[in-house]
Structure 1
Amino acid sequence: MNSIKQSFNLEGKVAIVTGSSKGIGRSIAQGLAEYGAKVVISSRSQEAVDLVAAEFKKAGLEAFGVACHVGKSDQREALVQKTIAQYGGVDILVNNAAINPVYGRIEDPDENVFDKIMDVNVKAPWVLSNLALSSMQKRGGGSIINIASVEALHPGAGLGLYSTSKAALLMLTKNQAKEWGQYGIRANVVCPGLIKTKFSAALWQNEKLLNKIEKTLPTARMGMPDEMSGIVCLLASEAGAYMTGGVYNADGGYMIAG
């Protein structure tokens, strides 16, 4: 009898998680490491990633820190190259790093802001996945997990360009799944709702706005970063071996709320 529990085991696997020095990315990295993966912690600050990697190692987990601004071409290439040099390859890529520098109407930002959002939220996941492709092929397959947002599925006030970038990420994921399935590579996307992170602080620190949002949710509360880790661990592991091209909401019921 095959062990279902064992199918979640990630021992021998190597994972890159972008934007993983804090928030959702850090929780995802911890979950993957706890299931046995060797995890590359990545964000713009070397000091920040080294700190997280040290904390993981202290807890008996395997981790390595590589600073990377995902909007910069040379740093993206270095991230994948350093991962392969350190651990021998890439099996799991979690494209989590994202930005949303503006809040307001879609006609207000200038073209530079649009380009910046698309570079980080869409182009970087595309390029990083392409860079990891050959290693995943050599290793017999892999799992790409792109972190989008419920804003990709439902337009929210003031987040038009962010929503647009995340909607593009959904279609990128589906095309990766369709084209790369022949190599044993799966691609899925997770759409978090309102999660208590620094990234979303403008929303949850406004008590009146938070109360209004929470009243509409079936769970009646916002989510926590650790609650995003489980679905990613499933998608990264053999337990999710038949899951590809999927869009998975982790939103407290936001998408079914009235």
Structure 2
Amino acid sequence: MTDAPAAIAHLIDVMARLRDPETGCPWDQVQDFATIAPYTIEEAYEVEDAIAQGSPATLLDELGDLLFQVIYHARMAEERGWFAFADVAGAIADKMVRRHPHVFGADETRTADQQIAAWEVQKASERAARAETGTLAGIPIGLPALTRAAKLTKRAGRVGFDWPDAASVLDKLEEEAGELRVEIQKAPQDLDPAAIRDEVGDLLFVLANLARKLDLEPEDCLRGANRKFERRFGFIEQTLQYEGKLPADSTLDDMEALWLEAKRRERAGG
């Protein structure tokens, strides 16, 4: 195993050299928090993808890319005199110690459920210290929309504002689908794109909360559906290619038949 302090020090030095205003990389020299943020988000998703692949080598590489993003932001903050990487590492270590008194020094034990409850109390206290008021304060705007929808209503549910069960969410889903149907069945001259967008948003919001009520992560559900679509459509393309055709040369009925065949094979395990 590599010596951690030495490796971190080397990475910090690499970042400093890349950002050096005289001898650094021209691209790195001109970046700022806003331009680097999209890369940070992208790297987090690539870590998740590496985990899904089950490849230790890929995970090692992607975790390095994500760590580099943290080093990058810390370096830009240090240049502004705000804080350095050591402050970031120290702050998160202190936070974890503060949030886990049953591990670090306190004479108490907790179950997993008790720890979750204590964690939420601690986070609420920290939000209050930052003058973030309101039940929904502190839920990041930058989260994927489906994830944020689930988090918003989970937080609201803690104060009693929630559907009682998944069945009631399904009822709401049917209601929202009906409202969308009303909008899209209007005469062409009466269609209201803003209203349609609003109703589609309501439908997605309820779907996110249906997943939450079933103890599912909505983004994970959608990623699974994406993979399934890619797999089945790939079967369609491969089959058509074997027949000397392209999807564009085929009818919808032809492709639908192949889609059903792909489903049949999946269920049969073939």
What's the TM-score, normalizing by structure 2? 0.22
Q: Which has the higher helix share?
A: 2
Bigger strand share: 1
Larger radius of gyration: 2
Larger relative contact order (CA 8 Å, sep ≥ 6): 1
- TM-score between the two structures when normalised by the length of structure 1: 0.23
